[in-house]
Structure 1
Amino acid sequence: MKTLYDVQQLLKRFGTFIYVGSRLRDIALMKIELKALYTEGLIQKEEYVSAVRVLTKEYELEQSREGFKVEQEVDRN
């Protein structure tokens, strides 16, 4: 598993579609759903760890983007 899209496809296999409108919140909700799938024994540990790794990376990237946007807004004012 390498991309956020891959994680979305994994969740889709179980009928889970996540779109809140905020990418950070979407990622956080995906982590919760993955943990539930793993806890229930529906996905293997390797698949869970790989997906969480992707989501953590994406979350950090999005946070840095959001921070950059905030800095740009502050600079404009």
Structure 2
Amino acid sequence: MKTLYDVMQLLKSFGTVIYTGDRKADLDLMEDEIKELYKQQFISAKDFSTALLILRQKRNEN
């Protein structure tokens, strides 16, 4: 997993598609979903940390 697209595809594989039209809100919602997937043990610690890193980098770019 290297890009925001990869994070979106990970979420999509669990049936989650996030698009509100507000980029910051989208990134926040994606982070919440990633945290919930990890909490429920659907994704590995490596995927969790990588996804959070990507989302936070994208949030800081704006």
2:5 is the counterpart of 1:5: yes
Higher helix share: 1
Give the unaligned 5+ runs of structure 2.
Answer: none
What TM-score do you get using the length of structure 1 for normalisation? Answer: 0.79
1:13-48 CA deviation, whole Å, 9 max, x = no partner? Answer: 000000011111100000000000000000000000
CA RMSD for the aligned pairs? Answer: 0.5
> What is the match of residue 16 of structure 1?
16
CA distance in 2, matches of 1:25, 1:2: 21
Q: 2:41 — aligned with what?
A: 41
Count of residues in Structure 1 that have an aligned counterpart in Structure 2: 62
CA distance in 2, matches of 1:46, 1:52: 10
Corresponding residue SS for 1:7: helix
Asked which structure has the greater RCO (Cα within 8 Å, sep 6+), the reply is: 2
Runs of 4+ in 1 over 2 A off after TM superposition: none
Structure-to-structure mapping, 1:33-72, within 5 angstroms: 33-62=33-62
- Taking the aligned partners of 2:40 and 2:19, their CA distance within structure 1 comes to 23
Structure 1, unaligned runs of 5 or more? 63-77
Identical-pair percentage: 45
Distance in structure 1 (CA, Å) of the matches to 2:35 and 2:23: 19
